């Protein structure tokens, strides 16, 4: 096996990548070729000389992960996945950014083989990489370096590092000394508006050194293959800190007209500009030039390198170890978890955040690869594994991750950990701070990352902290995200069932928990179906529908109505998504459309009208006062719900 391609093949491969980077956006009349052109040598060296990976085994557990955080340059990654043999074809590149293509505008995990995470919103991929590095470190400590020993590479641009999420994530990575994390900073000094001089004078190397990173200022080597290889190997071998390679590049190179111009960023080159650039490169002026001999040689080279890596790893690990590592990517079976779930008796009066911690700890022995943590609110949110140690720079086997006051970074890190595989990440904070995490939650849903977002202090019941800390619109906003499973358990038993539903779900889950104590009113069965009748009468005149702590309010209202000779059913509805997935006839058996239906939830009523005929909720901000006072003043009481129901029934 040749260790490297020839110098001629290097040059032709780089020209091929640059040609495709221009041709695909031109055909699509949309795209970003400038960064892809300038980073073609870097991508070529990474894929052909540095990365431990196999094109035929894109899911190999010990592969290096590579993330294009500046995902607008997706054509760079797609060109590599075509050239290297991951399954993309020239037709896929010709279908760039078109309906149902394998080459969407920004890379999407699970959509295109070889794409690890869904990137595009700047800075997210960088923070995902930090999560991947945490997962790798933990798994290496647990299973040994023979089984797990790989690196995470992330390419990031000025935009990624301007976004606030990068500051949080870089700080966390430096603190944890994640030395298997390597960031290549594409220092091209250009953004959409123009030169970075317009907006930013940060000393990026100094900033990252202050975070505890090893920084290599590589200088003007963006087109020097051997120099790039040496710098990347230096970064790979460094220990004790994550590494940033600062690479001075020139956007749009080698275009005679648009090198170092901001117009090269997102405006597809015209046919004339492409012709002049291909003339400089010395390749044929034809669209999608990809000589079969070169492509074949490239794919053979990567396949040989990849097979050697896989063979070496296989020889060091038993069939049992390999099977174990592979199985950790599968969804766990309910039957393996359910027996460990705690059951709470009817006398239990407990905040669901406290119940969640009990559930998390009770299932620890059957789910050893759960990594739990919070944004400086570990005990407050229930995302705590008592009896386990902290994951740290000196203890990689620890299962408690302390994220600090970094909700942005935590959200994206959870996504990276989940997409890395082998761990189930859990992260907690107060529900109102879901706003800080929304981009990450959205991308988790888009990429079906199996992570669990735990949000406590779920309503105006938070009390004295006031409206800044009292979530009102947050449930509605999370329920609006496609693919996100949202569960607001009413009591401890539903909390237990919510955890089971989360870890066996093929995608992300948000579990919404109370600060205040709530009575145990259910057996937890409502979670599986999304809803269940928890109080039934023979001839109901209406249905009261409660979620979370407001189920007890609905139950109180049913007793008041009973005293007035009015009989109602009470339904617990912890998950809209699960309820909506039921056949219509099953939905109607639980919540009959023929009856008045009154929803009770201490939050925005937005969206409830597709289920309820009348809504008791809070369509304003809260107030600073004891939680029970705020609830009463804003109408979340049994008496008010009973009055609304009575009016609905009697017309």
- Residues belonging to the active site: 407
- Please name the residues in contact with 237: beta carbons below 8 A apart, sequence gap of 6 or more: none
271: its two tokens: 């046919």
DSSP string, 229-259: HHHHHHHHH--SS-EEEEEE--TTTT-TTTT
Burial grade of 6 (CB within 10 A; 0-12, 13-18, 19 or more): exposed
Nearest to 63 by CA among 76, 47, 77, 78: 47
Residue with tokens 């990548």: 17
Helix, strand, coil percentages in the chain from 3-state DSSP, rounded to 5: 45, 15, 40
DSSP string, 129-148: HHHHHHHHHHHHHHH-TTT-
467 φ, ψ (degrees, to nearest 5) = -65, -25
11: its two tokens: 């040059």
Residue with tokens 């050697």: 308
**What is the distance between the alpha carbons of residues 479 and 456, in angstroms, rounded to a whole number?**
16
Q: Does residue 407 contact residue 436 with C-beta atoms inside 8 Å?
A: yes
DSSP E strands: which ranges in 188-233? 190-191, 194-195, 214-219
Across 559-585, b (16+ Cβ under 10 Å) vs e yields ebbeeeebbbbbbbbbbbbbbeeeeee
* Alpha-carbon torsion (323, 324, 325, 327), positive or negative: positive
**What is the distance between the alpha carbons of residues 369 and 367, in angstroms, rounded to a whole number?**
6
């Amino acid at each position: 096996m040749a260790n490297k391609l020839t110098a001629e093949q290097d040059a032709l491969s780089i020209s091929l990548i640059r040609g495709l980077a221009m041709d695909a956006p031109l055909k699509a009349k949309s795209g970003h070729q400038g960064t892809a052109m300038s980073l073609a040598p870097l991508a070529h060296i990474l894929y052909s000389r540095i990365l431990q990976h196999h094109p035929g085994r894109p899911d190999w557990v010990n592969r290096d992960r590579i993330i294009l955080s500046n995902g607008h340059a997706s054509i760079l990654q797609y060109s590599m996945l075509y050239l290297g043999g991951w399954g993309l074809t020239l037709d896929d590149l010709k279908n760039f950014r078109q309906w149902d293509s394998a080459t969407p505008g920004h890379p999407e995990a699970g959509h295109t083989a070889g794409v690890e995470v869904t990137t595009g919103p700047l800075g997210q991929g960088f923070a995902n990489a930090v999560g991947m590095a945490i997962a790798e470190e933990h798994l290496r400590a647990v299973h040994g370096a023979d089984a797990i020993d790989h690196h995470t590479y992330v390419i990031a641009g000025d935009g990624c590092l301007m976004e606030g999420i990068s500051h949080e994530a870089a700080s966390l990575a430096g603190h944890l000394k994640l030395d298997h994390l390597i960031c290549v900073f594409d220092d091209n000094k250009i953004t959409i508006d123009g030169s970075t001089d317009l907006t930013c004078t940060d000393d990026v190397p100094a900033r990252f050194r202050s975070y505890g990173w090893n920084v290599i200022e590589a200088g003007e080597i963006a087109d020097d293959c051997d120099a790039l290889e040496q710098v990347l190997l230096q970064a790979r071998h460094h220990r004790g800190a994550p590494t940033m390679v600062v690479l001075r590049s020139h956007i749009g190179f080698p275009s005679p007209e648009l090198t170092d111009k901001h117009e090269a960023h997102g405006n597809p080159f015209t046919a004339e500009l492409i012709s002049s650039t291909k003339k400089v490169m010395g390749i044929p002026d034809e669209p999608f030039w990809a000589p079969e001999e070169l492509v074949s040689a490239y794919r053979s080279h990567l396949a040989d390198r990849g097979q050697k890596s896989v063979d070496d790893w296989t020889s060091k690990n038993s069939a049992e170890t390999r099977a174990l590592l592979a199985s950790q990517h599968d969804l766990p079976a309910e039957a393996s978890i359910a027996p460990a779930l705690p059951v709470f008796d009817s006398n239990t009066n407990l905040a669901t955040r406290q119940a969640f911690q009990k559930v998390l700890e009770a299932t620890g022995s059957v789910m050893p690869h759960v990594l739990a943590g919070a944004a400086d609110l570990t005990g407050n949110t229930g995302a705590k594994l008592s009896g386990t140690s902290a994951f740290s720079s000196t203890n990689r086997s620890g299962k408690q991750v302390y994220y600090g006051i970094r909700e942005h970074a935590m959200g994206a890190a959870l996504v990276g950990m989940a997409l890395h595989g082998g761990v189930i990440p859990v992260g907690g904070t107060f529900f109102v701070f879901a706003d800080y995490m929304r981009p990450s939650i959205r991308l988790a849903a888009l990429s079906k990352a199996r992570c669990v977002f735990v949000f406590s202090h779920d309503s105006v019941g938070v009390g004295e902290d006031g409206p800044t800390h009292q979530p009102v619109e947050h449930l509605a906003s999370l329920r609006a995200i496609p693919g996100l499973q949202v569960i607001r358990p009413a009591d401890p038993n539903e909390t237990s069932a919510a955890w089971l539903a989360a870890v066996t779900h093929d995608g992300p889950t948000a579990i919404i928990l109370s600060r205040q104590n709530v009575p145990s009113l259910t057996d937890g069965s409502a979670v599986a179906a999304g809803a269940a009748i928890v109080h039934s009468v023979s001839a109901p005149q209406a249905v009261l529908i409660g979620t979370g702590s407001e189920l007890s309010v609905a139950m109180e209202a049913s007793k008041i109505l009973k005293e007035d000779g009015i009989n109602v059913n009470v339904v617990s509805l912890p998950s809209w998504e699960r309820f909506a997935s039921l056949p219509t006839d099953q939905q109607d058996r639980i919540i009959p459309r023929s009856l008045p239906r009154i929803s009770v939830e201490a939050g925005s009523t937005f969206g409830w009208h597709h289920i309820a005929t009348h809504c008791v909720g809070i369509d304003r901000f809260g107030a600073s006062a004891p939680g029970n006072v705020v609830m009463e003043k804003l109408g979340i009481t049994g008496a008010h719900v009973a009055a609304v129901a009575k009016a609905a029934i009697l017309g």
